[in-house]
Amino acid sequence: MNRCEICGKHEVLPYVCSYCGGVYCSEHRLPEYHSCPGLEAGIVKSPVEKRRIEEDYSVPVRRKRRISSGKFRLVSYGYTNLILALIAIVFFLQLAIPHFTPLFYFDPGNITRKPWGILTSIFLHGGLNHFLINFIVLLFFGNELERRVGGGNFLKIFLLSGMAGNLGYLAYSILSGDPTPALGASGAIYGVFASLAVIAPEVRVLVFFFIPLSIRTALILFAIYDIIFLPLSSITGIASAAHLTGLAVGLYYGRKLRKRPPSYRMVLYPF
């Protein structure tokens, strides 16, 4: 017997969505009632359009996406994976090219001379440990959030959280008089993590790979940690202001995108 992925109702003869392959009951079988990825990709537009597509095409969703994306077929690999690839390439360039990092990091003391740092610093990292931690966390939680809200929404959350984090760090630098440059994707990742906590509170995480917590409890603990150590950012070397600002943006978009109760079963991810 099968269960509906939205409400958990047992169905002897469930409906299988031809766009995303999900299993649903009769109440949630239509794409607009289970947040079908086809809606985000523009494949499904209306009941009439859906019937026309079903009659005209017999190819699976992934193939339809590639057809509709035209020359931008890289998008079919997912925005999370593309960002991970970009971060890896940039980290290699940081190691290989002298003075590469200072050109693109976020410098509060020279914001008017290097305004691009608000965006480019998101893809830089301060060392191997910094890179690996952000890479692993984004690998798990980024893909999970993108699967739930779609690529376009994920990209918006990631970039806006990262840039807002830098602006939050800029405000902290002005107030504290500490213009130390900053870099890293942590603000953006906090936004992704916070959005997922709002949209999918049933998700559980393994903090330090062995402490099981609900994603919301983990988020609260991380927020408390950053609030406590915010005045000590110059000592710890952690841009807590960027973390908290990115988290706030993620909470905002999570609330904005949440339309119904969680539709996915509980899962565990290392963090």
Please state the length of the chain.
271
The whole-number pLDDT of residue 27 equals: 76
| Distant-in-sequence, close-in-space partners of 125: CB < 8 Å, separation ≥ 6 | 87, 91, 94, 131, 134, 183, 184, 185
- pLDDT tens-digit profile of 6-65? 777 776 667 777 777 778 777 777 777 777 776 665 555 545 444 544 444 444 444 444
- pLDDT tens-digit profile of 250-259? 999 999 888 6
Quickly name the fold that domain 2-69 has: Zf-an1 domain (4.10.1110)
- pLDDT tens-digit profile of 213-252? 889 999 999 999 999 988 887 777 888 899 999 999 999 9
- pLDDT tens-digit profile of 86-141? 999 999 999 999 899 999 999 998 988 999 999 999 999 999 999 999 999 999 89
| Short-list 202, 201, 195, CA closest to 153 | 195
CATH 1.20.1540.10 fits 78-270, yes or no: yes
The whole-number pLDDT of residue 20 equals: 76
Contacts 24+ apart (CB under 8 A), 26-35: 28/4, 33/6, 34/5, 34/6, 34/263, 35/148, 35/149, 35/259, 35/260, 35/263
In the chain, how long is the greatest CA-to-CA distance?
65
Helices (H), ranges, 126-259: 128-149, 151-176, 186-199, 215-229, 233-236, 240-257
Identical fold for domains 2-69 and 78-270, yes or no, is no
Query: What residues does each domain of the chain span?
Result: 2-69, 78-270
| Distant-in-sequence, close-in-space partners of 202: CB < 8 Å, separation ≥ 6 | 214, 262, 264, 265, 266
| Short-list 24, 29, 27, CA closest to 5 | 24
Q: What is the 3-state secondary structure (H, E, C) of 58-117?
A: CCCHHHHHHHHHCCCHHHHHCHHHHHHHHHHHHHHHHHHCCCHHHHHCECHHHCCCCCCH
Q: Which two tokens stand for residue 42?
A: 């523009």
Kindly compute the dihedral angle of the four CA atoms of residues 201, 158, 225, 104, in this order, to the nearest 10 degrees.
170
- Mean residue pLDDT of the chain comes to 81
The sign of the CA dihedral 178, 179, 184, 188 is positive
Spatial separation of the C-alpha atoms in residues 168 and 233, rounded to whole Å = 13
